[in-house]
Chain A
């Protein structure tokens, strides 16, 4: 079974631009979560989607948004990029059943100049 895939793997943007990151979960997984990893703040939860609905949301500004499609693929969007948005963005998928673990993708490394 293929793992979680994220595209692109690396991205360089400038302040003020917007960016869209993509995540394809493991086949059959209905829940997709996004995390931001930075040296200063560590791993922080952004949001989770289950069956195309946002089920949970972390404490991030409205510039961070996401969506999930009917095939469970998910995208996250960051508008009006700031230098502090430079991070590794990780996507994780899970079947959504009790006790199931999340499977993480390799991440997208976003650099904002």
Chain B
């Protein structure tokens, strides 16, 4: 079965520091991978997606992620954290076309220290 593991349920970084949120997936074939962000009392907003077109994916708000098949990883990074980045982040995997089911990781709550 498809699954994703997010290491670290809580991550704190200082404003201006590098943000690194980890995601590893288990899949026998390269899947579709996504990062979503959730602000309090809101739904999920897509940050970026990997669909095999390019291993380095750039998303909104300065975030990017690199697909590494050898490590089965899809870590999310941002060079310089901003206070507005404080939120919960979810990595998700979708198996293939025709199956819209997203399997989510447990989430990482990002706190930005002023």
A binds B: yes
Write the residues of chain A forming the contact surface with B, with a CB cutoff of 8 angstroms: 4, 31, 33, 35, 42-45, 48, 50, 55-56, 58, 90, 92, 94, 96-99, 101-107
Number of residue pairs A-B, CB distance < 8 angstroms = 60
Given A42-B107, A106-B43, A107-B43, does the pair A31, B100 have CB atoms closer than 8 Å? yes
Sample of 12 further A-B pairs with CB below 8 A, known A98-B97, A105-B43, A106-B41: A33-B100, A42-B105, A42-B107, A43-B104, A50-B100, A55-B100, A58-B101, A92-B44, A99-B51, A99-B97, A102-B102, A104-B44
Given A42-B106, A42-B107, does the pair A33, B101 have CB atoms closer than 8 Å? yes
Q: By the criterion CB–CB under 8 Å, are A42 and B44 in contact?
A: no
Contacts A/B (CB < 8 Å), 26 sampled:
A31-B100, A33-B102, A35-B102, A42-B107, A43-B92, A43-B102, A43-B107, A44-B104, A48-B101, A90-B44, A92-B102, A98-B97, A99-B49, A99-B97, A102-B46, A102-B100, A102-B102, A103-B46, A104-B36, A104-B44, A105-B43, A106-B41, A106-B42, A106-B43, A107-B42, A107-B43
The number of residues on chain B lying at the interface, defined by a beta carbon within 8 Å of a beta carbon of chain A, is 24
Q: How far is the CA of A48 from the CA of B97 in the complex (A)?
A: 13
Q: By the criterion CB–CB under 8 Å, are B32 and A45 in contact?
A: no
Q: Which residues of B contact A103 (CB under 8 A)?
A: 46
Within 8 A of A (CB), among B31-69: 32, 34, 36, 41-46, 49, 51
